Amino acid sequence: MQKLAEICIRRPVFAAMMNLALVIVGAVSLSRLGVDRLPSVDIPSVLVRTNLPGASPTEIETELTDRIEEAVNTVQGIDELRSISMPERSLVIANFNLERQIDTAAQDVRDRVSGAMRNLPEDTDPPVVAKFDSDSEPVMIVAVTGPRSIRELTELADKVVRVRIERAAGVGQVTLKGGLSRTMNVWVDADRLDAHGLSITAKG
């Protein structure tokens, strides 16, 4: 009876000590657990980048983006297909199911784009097909708006906002997109150039 009583008493004590040990180990592990605010997520994605010099966004969409999307859309395993049409450039991004191998998917996209080349304008640069790296995507997008012209807002974003963000701790790169780039128009007098024996491409 005495041994039985000792066993009955010691078992709850042993269980309490085990629970306490687990709590301590868990607390220590939790304090040392690393936290990543921006974890790396490997989503099978393929990017098709195509350039057409001198083309407007509307021309890019109708002449490049729509035709490339139509070709890429036949690839098996696509979960989402999205595109961006901008001046002189078309971007088509295909997101695949997680079960799809990214290398095989990229090759399938490359084959479809090669077949669609004959339907693109003659001045189109060869499309670039690459595996999409989500880590290279921006973590924050800042839009600059105000009661000013697009040219003034672009200058403000480039000379003021971009510089201040670049100086912030932890910022690796700041890229300016959109806006209105500064351009210059030059009128050339062909007769005067000819009189001086110069061509339009001559360098001083």
What does the chain come to in residues?
Answer: 204
Q: Which of 96, 116, 137 is nearest to 50 (CA)?
A: 116
Which string of DSSP letters, residue by residue, matches 144-161?
---SS-HHHHHHHIIIII
Higher pLDDT among residues 21 and 40, named by residue: 21
**Total number of domains constituting the chain:** 2
Coil, helix or strand for 202? coil
- Euclidean distance between CA atoms 127 and 110, whole angstroms: 9
For residues 121 and 58, state if they share a domain. yes
For residues 143 and 108, state if they share a domain. no
What pTM value is reported for the model? 0.52
Question: What confidence tens digit (pLDDT) does each residue in 114-138 have?
Answer: 988 888 988 889 999 988 766 666 7
Backbone angles phi, psi at 68, to 5 degrees: -70, -40
For residues 87 and 166, state if they share a domain. no
What does the pLDDT average to over 27-51?
75
Q: Hunting for tokens 């709850």 — which residue is that?
A: 12
Containing structural domain, residue 185:
138-204
Question: What confidence tens digit (pLDDT) does each residue in 58-84 have?
Answer: 889 999 999 999 999 989 888 889 998
